[in-house]
Amino acid sequence: MPLLEMTQAVLAGRSLPSRAVAISFDDGLASNYHLGFPVLRELGLPATIFLATGFLDGTHPLWFQEVDRAMKARGSSAAELATRLAHLKTLPDALMRGEVRKLVEGCAQAESEVARPMSWEQAREMQAGGLVAFGGHTHTHPVLSRCTPAQQAEEIRVCRDRMTEELGTSPCLFAYTNGGPGDFTSETQELLAAHGFQAAFTMMPARLGAGLPSHALPRYGNPTSVLEAEATASGAFELVKQWRGGGR
């Protein structure tokens, strides 16, 4: 199902078809266009792509990609990179940006093919095909709870306005950056509603269902295998969770 249709059904208290699934991608990578779109088209699957608009504009590279490139250029291990990223995500946004600048300084930035943003033209082409819709994902990809309220409002407003300018329609779904329980606040949720976003998605894994808060909806991470995708879509994961919790 298209994510918007699924969201509106859930928020209106309507039940979903059994085994209903919605697909989403975050950030706006060119690979969504080059690799994902042909598969979606072949199978007739709708998807929603959440855009970091400054990434597409070419004005704000994704900061975690910059850290990734700089640390790899310095020979850091995957574990060191993970530790550094986890630390950076805890910092107030301005401080985090300073740390990233220091890391990136003097480092050759070999941009990898798969890390590039899609163009607005590619986004428009996918939208015109009818299968792909777009949602907001901030402008410069900060962790919103690490921003001041004014910065949060600016991130949400600029993201919405750039999408409206480029795609001709205002986004009504949003996905939080990072998406953990501490990565947005009740103020973030209010700001999103005030800017016309009907719902927002976290990365807290659970099934969509009635009675959930519209601006803190759950979402599963990308499955790493077909088996994991099947376990997620069929609800097997949730069964295991309930067994472990001794739940009903």
C-alpha 104 chain-centroid distance: 24
Listed ranges 126-134, 158-166, 172-180, 200-208: which one lies at the site for Zn ion (CB under 5 A): 172-180
Q: What is the nearest approach in angstroms of Zn ion to the Cβ of residue 132?
A: 17
Number of residues near Zn ion (by CB under 5 A): 3
Q: How many CB atoms lie within 10 A of CB 68?
A: 18
SS3 100: helix
Q: Which stretch binds Zn ion (CB under 5 A): 23-31, 75-83, 198-206, 218-226?
A: 23-31
Minimum distance from residue 246 beta carbon to Zn ion (Å): 35
66 binds Zn ion (CB under 5 A): no
Q: How far apart are CA 177 and CA 119, in angstroms?
A: 20
Q: Which residue, 35 or 227, has its beta carbon nearer to Zn ion? A: 35
CA distance 209 to 13: 8
As measured in angstroms, the least distance from the Cβ of 16 to Zn ion is 26
Q: Does 26 bind Zn ion (CB under 5 A)?
A: yes
Task: Tell me if 207 sits within 8 A of 232, measured CB to CB.
Answer: no
The residue count for the chain: 248
Residue 27 near Zn ion by CB under 5 A = yes
Q: Is the dihedral of CA 28, 31, 37, 43 positive or negative?
A: negative
Nearer to Zn ion by Cβ, of 26 and 68: the residue is 26
Comparing CB distances to Zn ion, the nearer of 89 and 195 is 89
Cβ distance to Zn ion smaller for residue 82 or 240: 82
Nearer residue to Zn ion within complex by CB, 135 or 191:
135
End-to-end CA gap in the chain:
28
Task: Give Cα 218 distance to the centre of its chain.
Answer: 12
CA torsion 176-43-123-226 (nearest 10°) is 40
Q: Which residue is nearest to Zn ion (CB)?
A: 26
- Say if CB 141 and CB 180 are below 8 A apart: no
- Judged by CB under 5 A, the stretch of 10-18, 26-34, 86-94, 108-116 that binds Zn ion is 26-34
CB 178 within 8 A of CB 203: yes
Nearer residue to Zn ion within complex by CB, 9 or 85: 85
183 binds Zn ion (CB under 5 A): no
Binding site for Zn ion (CB under 5 A): 26-27, 177
